[in-house]
Amino acid sequence: MFSWLGRIASACWRPVSRYVRMNKDDCGGDDEKADPTLQDSLLWCKDLEKHSCGEFSFAVVQANEVLEDQSQVETGRHATFVGVYDGHGGPDASRFICDHLFLHLMRLARERGSMSEDLIRSAFSATEEGFLTLVRRTCGIKPLIAATGSCCLVGVIWQGTLYVANVGDSRAVVGSLGRSNKIVAEQLTRDHNASMEEVRQELRSLHPDDSHIVVMKHGVWRIKGIIQVSRSIGDAYLKRPEFSLDPSFPRFHLAEPLRRPVLTAEPTLCLRTLRPSDKFLIFASDGLWEHLSNQEAVEIVHNNPRAGIARRLLKAALNEAARKREMRYADLKKVEKGIRRFFHDDITVVVIFLDHEMLGQKVSVPELSVRGFLDTVGPSNFNILQGIDANARSII
């Protein structure tokens, strides 16, 4: 039997039972509907849905041969969960996170009857340990799973409080109204990337006996000359000697034996009591921020209609990516997946609007999950995945 606190925690999410995949037919503005040649075959979106204290918009574009981003928005009557998981080395780690992290967090919330930063840390830790166990079981037949990892960005809105946790360089930004009703961007996360001087200093202080902990390679700072992010879930070969890869995998082989982990799965956290001036949140993988500044992104959201806003942000980034290569977006859209990775990364964008009059109220919100498994279904049959059996991921 749950305690009364556990029942309260469960009620915030019950029932998370209707599973909705993004329908590619939902995408496209009037211009694209009038002219199908303008459509981007690698872009999927959900233009507008409800969550516990407002509405949200969701969009993904694929660049890699296999989509390495995974993502989810889980809504309950009084709580909302957002997850953006930017994988590297393959989709194994990001898929695992998408399947397990939210369930770990809800299990812990039910046990404790509340939400806290410690619970979120515990959910990250349980997900990391679970994935490393999977690596241990499968590396004999699939050794490169030890080189698979993922950034992990999570946001939880719980009883008027926002919790944000992050490992890697995905980013959460809040758009708030400042003086003269101007929209102001505030970054809620810290980028864990070796391109940042403070990250390089942190790594050097943690590894004073390793002169190669960060190395400039092809004009980019990399940890051990291999990877840019300093925190991730997965990347087992950079955390435990048992997962080291031999010289037959030169890209991931370490010249010297691993003495201590060079990456960590410990998230940095931000706790924020939502203010009336906080109008919306943007959660996105680093592919968006490579082409748009925080301020540019919040101004796009603030100055345009809600419906389709995540798609609009994503297209602004793609237009900029095309401009940098002296080409038009119309030409970029013709580039196939895999080759397209030379122009931009996989990108996931989730925009969460905050309607403060709904905070703390009982609102009719469809309890649903919008999740990103686009690489496994493909655009041709994506629109048929409606109403997946809820028993597959029952959490109550």
Please tell me the pTM assigned to this model. Answer: 0.87
User: CB of 170 within 8 A of CB of 151?
Assistant: yes
Helix or strand run (H / E) with residue 150: strand 149-150
- For residue 340, what pLDDT is reported? 95
**Beta-carbon neighbour count of residue 36 at 10 Å?**
8
> Which of 21, 18, 17, 101 has the alpha carbon at shortest distance from 377?
21
- CA–CA gap between residue 168 and residue 126 (Å, rounded): 17
Query: Burial letters for 273-284: b for 16+ Cβ neighbours within 10 Å, e otherwise?
Result: ebeeebbbbbbb
Q: What does the block give as tokens for 370?
A: 């919008």
The CATH class, in words, for 4-193+229-393 is alpha beta
Is 285 in contact with 151 (CB distance < 8 Å)? Answer: yes
For residue 359, the model assigns a pLDDT of 64
Q: Does the pLDDT of residue 17 top 60, yes or no?
A: no
Cα(24)–Cα(18) distance, integer angstroms? 18
Tell me how far apart the alpha carbons of residues 373 and 83 are, in angstroms, rounded to a whole number. Answer: 13
Which residue type is seen at 69?
D
pLDDT digit string, tens, across residues 308-357: 999 999 999 999 999 999 999 999 999 999 999 999 999 999 999 999 87
pLDDT tens across 170-195, in order?
999 999 998 888 999 999 999 999 99
End-to-end CA distance of the chain: 12
Q: Where are the domains of the chain?
A: 4-193+229-393, 194-228
